[in-house]
């Protein structure tokens, strides 16, 4: 009986330690701004759905976003839009209007340089490729 409780306690402790070892560490908003400012990101949602478009956005030094979008995973013309970005309460925030996803989000960047945005549930829903400068002349 005693060895069973020691085994269970050990398993619980090991799972707690493993959970903290693999906890997601998000970038500070200022660090996200350093990565995207003066550059273009191209975003793609993991799953297509209503209101989810492929998009490209250029982030300028003054906090403006100039973007274009088209239907998720489709070819065709891009429609243009604009918005603003800021760092607020340590998070990187985008304000795009017109029904586009806006708000302050958590981000990580992987070893390949792909930026990942997380929703309020901690699920990565959008991946961004980062391109130097403004290659699409947005």
Q: Per residue in 46-102, pLDDT tens?
A: 677 776 788 999 999 999 999 998 888 777 789 999 999 999 999 999 999 777 778
What average pLDDT does this structure show over 111-115?
Answer: 95
Look at residue 7 and tell me whether its pLDDT is greater than 90: no
**What local confidence, expressed as pLDDT, does residue 97 receive?**
75
Q: In the prediction, which pLDDT does 23 show?
A: 60
- Contacts of the segment 96-104: beta carbons below 8 A, 24+ positions apart: 96/65, 96/67, 99/51, 100/51, 100/69, 104/29
Q: What is the pLDDT of residues 73-87, one digit of tens each?
A: 777 789 999 999 999
Which of these, 94, 109, 103, lies nearest to 35 by C-alpha position?
109
What is the residue-wise DSSP string for 4-57? Answer: HHHHHHHHHHHHHHHHHHT---PPPHHHHHHHHBTEEEEEEESS--TT-EEEEE
CA distance 49 to 68: 18
- Relative to beta strand 64-71, strand 53-59 is antiparallel
Looking at residue 58, the DSSP 8-state letter turns out to be E
Which comes out higher in pLDDT, residue 31 or 126?
31
Q: What is the mean pLDDT of residues 118-128?
A: 86
Closest by CA to 105, choosing from 93, 96, 122, 95, is: 93
Least confident of 3-12, 54-63, 129-138: 3-12
**Is domain 25-132 annotated with CATH 2.40.128.640?**
yes
**Is pLDDT of 119 > 60?**
yes
């Amino acid at each position: 009986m005693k060895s069973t409780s020691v085994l269970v306690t050990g398993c619980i402790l090991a799972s707690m330690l493993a959970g903290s070892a693999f906890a997601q560490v998000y970038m500070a908003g200022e660090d996200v701004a350093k990565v995207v400012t003066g550059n273009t990101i191209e975003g793609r949602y993991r799953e297509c759905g209503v209101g989810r478009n492929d998009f490209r956005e250029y982030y300028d030094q003054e906090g403006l976003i100039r973007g274009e979008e088209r239907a998720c995973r489709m070819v065709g013309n891009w429609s243009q839009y604009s918005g603003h970005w800021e760092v607020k309460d340590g998070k990187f925030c985008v304000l795009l209007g017109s029904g586009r996803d806006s708000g302050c989000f958590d981000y990580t960047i992987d070893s390949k340089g792909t930026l990942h945005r997380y929703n309020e549930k901690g699920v990565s829903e959008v991946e961004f490729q980062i391109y130097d400068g403004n290659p699409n002349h947005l």
